[in-house]
Structure 1
């Protein structure tokens, strides 16, 4: 079987590529330019360290930065650092997040600036290609460095800790590379795990936000809604880019369908959809830009400056941008999910669908009644998870590290919120498609008809009372395919 190939060069990684590396059957290769940048930084780091103090190489870390490491203790110092910091706790994070972490750290080192031995690049690529993963517990980072996760990775490279997964898992059967003691802090001083999870979350957010527009258009058609709220003049009058984009997408989806509206004004779930969903589109795009910038950055502390033949001690380890961007995206996601739940409510009403209550087979049947409960249960979780992680704070290491942005927790909350959002949107899709089927109607053509045909191809057409859990699961799984009709 031939694998697709991803080439890592330190400059061109994006969130979708991270997702492919984490989830697909791909081979990871390293561009020569990335290896050369890493080698130049490694050479420079060694030269500078011989001339002046360098944090983590000639000193302790954290509050121990004022303690110099004697040259005869240098080999042991880095190993002690790795052993002491490989102390995460709790359940292990998902394998795809660990693969995303390895991909991001590989790319960061290839960007130049870490000073880590360039041989580690091939070792990380080998681990990915062999299906090997370091054990990474959930608790241990707060957005200022994934020290525990990367220290665990380093111990796997050293053969002190067993790799997980794959036929070559074990302490001595992984990639043949021994991380140098002097490179210990440089290797673990990164937010690669947080950024890897953020990249996965952003890629999924983009897909689901696109799918939402398709599902909302199906619902609008099912309730005989008005196209007036999507008219160009409306959005030229209030020209927020996301709002304009959403309205244009709905017009495209409804281009083959122009039924007379059943009422002069629709509920907010339809009438205000561009104004509520537009901010989600913009928030996700901004988050994607922020994460892409971070995963291609040499955001190291200290930063090895090859051109200047020096190192710079700095604060690029702090991922405030990422945490705040994801916090904003979750808040916007909750707002648009609340509209989805509101539209689901209209799809149970005879006044909107012309069907029995709850789209039931008979007047006394329950039909899709339970979908509202499921959707609001999921919505409650998304509302809980929308709380900004950035409102937390921490003072650590004897007071010298006196701030944290908790981007790690923001990334995890975003991952969890996505699960609830998929379920809520799946419920709306089941209801919209069922209503159109029972009305004997279908989109006339174009991308909306393509989306409808995809849905009817997998969703059960029976309307008698029966368990709907399989329908919800199928609808949720279909969302990426629906997104593709407008998010090519």
Structure 2
């Protein structure tokens, strides 16, 4: 069960709600906080102009409006405009649970009944049809406006809604002023890459063992002089998975093995930072304007730019960059496994038949996937646009950055599967002894074919992909 209180949501909670559909509840303290924020918004909105309540939005911010339920409905209908493919159910669930927790933080000024309506939508798994495009990293307006219309009974859901919520004057802009969809996407992608990052360590250890790598590259001395936790952790893991007492075949290995802690470590550090940003934003009342009631004063209202997702976009772009760098070493290690001077086996780990291709094409498949990852590593946050008659002159494109990070997962998985197939073949052919942890891995991978004759290796790749999560669990 996930208890929504507006202050303690983590990326793991988002993933659990989206994928396992863990039960979600709302604390009484969260309801009370939302009520106080609503009462403050209701009072102050009668006393002064407030953006989106008694004015238009965007370039219409100076247009005085009456502030009514009809105005709210009009805003939602216009801002629901979107395009592209429909998002998966798990991505929509992630968005909903993030938005509920943000509302529970108590800064939106929305009706407390809106929180209960959203909670009912989550409980019923009544998911709105959310399309891919429309957000530029300054609020996921189309996704959340479509969700609002579904809550109001105007847009379809894949399961019946238990009830209909009537959006009042205080509810429309406050509901859509959020990056909840992008935060949810980021949480799912981050979780997937954390698993693949750990699996990558085990696959690299298999390759290391197959070619008699030099363990000095991740010795305790290297760990001590390394100032970054990600790299230090990779050193510790590699020592636990390999035989530090074995005689190495070389004084120095190629970078694919020798610099593995320094190149792969940043993946864990960047994902850790991304996870912290996800948690921060999932618990922050980022609505514009924000309403903060207080026991000591009349409360505060502030128009601000907290909807701008620059921190999230930067963390996402950084994570994509670190994944791309580590993925390059996967291809390097595949090249090592194909080279007789490292394996003391036939070229491409073939069966000895003259000209045998063996696992040659695994390198091409991996290179193709690497090309996709490198393409995704172009920083989304380096772009910007000027919109709404020039009054909104910057954008983070965090939503694009989240999609780019998510796209690296399947491609990295494909690359690791290729390396795994080649490493297992090399270890079998060399009859190498392994430390207990890796010996257990080899036993588990007995389902991979031992046939070294030239053949289609597509089924081997697919099988290896499904087994990667088991490798991650070893660490």
Q: TM-score, normalised by structure 1?
A: 0.93
> 1:239 aligns to what?
227
- Would you say 1:260 and 2:251 are equivalent positions? no
Contact residue 157 and residue 174 of structure 1 kept, 8 A: no
Aligned equivalent of 1:383, options 374, 380, 390: 374
- Corresponding residue number in structure 1 for 2:436: 445
My pick for the range that moved more, 8-17 or 358-367, is: 358-367
Task: Provide closer, same or farther for how the CA distance between residues 299 and 360 of structure 1 changes in structure 2, counting only shifts above 3 A.
Answer: same
Q: Does 1:57 align with 2:27?
A: no
SS in 1 for 2:451: coil
The 3 A distance-change label for structure 1 pair 253 and 311 is: same
Whether the aligned pair in 2 keeps the contact of 1:257 and 1:444 (CA below 8 Å) is no
**Aligned counterpart, 2:462:** 473
Which runs of 5 or more residues in structure 1 are unaligned? none
Query: Within 1, Cα distance between the matches of 2:266 and 2:361?
Result: 29
Structure 1 residue 43 corresponds to structure 2 residue 51: no
TM-score, reference length from structure 2: 0.95
Supply the distance in 2 between the matched residues of 1:134 and 1:324 (Cα, whole angstroms). Answer: 29
Match among 284, 305, 308 for residue 318 of structure 1: 308
Preserved CA contact (<8 Å) 1:357 1:363: no
1:305 counterpart = 2:292: yes
1:124 to 106, 118, 126: 118
How many angstroms apart in 1 are the aligned matches of 2:230 and 2:430? 32
**Equivalences for residues 42-441 of structure 1 within 5 A:** 42-70=38-66, 74-164=68-158, 166=159, 168=160, 173-254=161-242, 258-307=245-294, 308=297, 309-364=299-354, 365-441=356-432
CA contact (8 A) 2:100 2:115 kept: yes
CA distance in 1, matches of 2:447, 2:28: 46
Distance (Å, rounded) in 2 between the aligned partners of 1:410 and 1:138: 13
Shift of 1:101: 0.5
Partner of 2:452: 463
Deviation larger for 372-381 or 35-44 = 35-44
- Measured after TM superposition, the shift of residue 369 of structure 1 is 1.2
Residues 258, 453 of structure 1: alpha-carbon distance in 2 compared, 3 angstrom cutoff: farther
* Greater shift in the superposed pair: 121-130 or 405-414: 121-130
Distance apart, 1:100 and its partner CA: 0.7
Distance 1:243 1:444, change over 3 A: closer
State the 4+ residue runs in structure 1 displaced beyond 3 angstroms. 173-176, 448-454
1 CA distance for matches of 2:471 and 2:322? Answer: 21
How far apart are residue 268 of structure 1 and its match? 0.7
**Comparing 82-91 and 281-290, the one that deviates more:** 281-290
Tell me by how many angstroms 1:178 deviates. Answer: 2.7
Aligned with 1:138: secondary structure?
strand
SS at the partner of 2:286? Answer: coil
CA distance in 1, matches of 2:349, 2:163: 58
CA 1:253–1:147 in 2, change beyond 3 Å: closer, same or farther?
Answer: same
What CA distance in whole angstroms lies between the structure 2 residues aligned with 1:120 and 1:467? 55
Residues 120-156 of structure 1 show CA distances to partners (whole Å, capped at 9, x for unaligned) of: 2232222223222111111100000000000000111
Q: Any idea what the Cα deviations from partners look like across 1:281-330, whole Å, max 9, x if unmatched?
A: 21111111111111111111111111152311111101100101111111
CA distance in 1, matches of 2:383, 2:435: 51
Kept after mapping to 2: 8 A contact 1:11/1:111: yes
| Kept in 2: contact 1:54–1:311 (CA 8 A) | no
RMSD: 1.6
Alpha-carbon spacing, 1:420–1:163, altered in 2? closer, same or farther (3 Å): same
Alpha-carbon distance in 2 for matches of 1:130, 1:453: 43
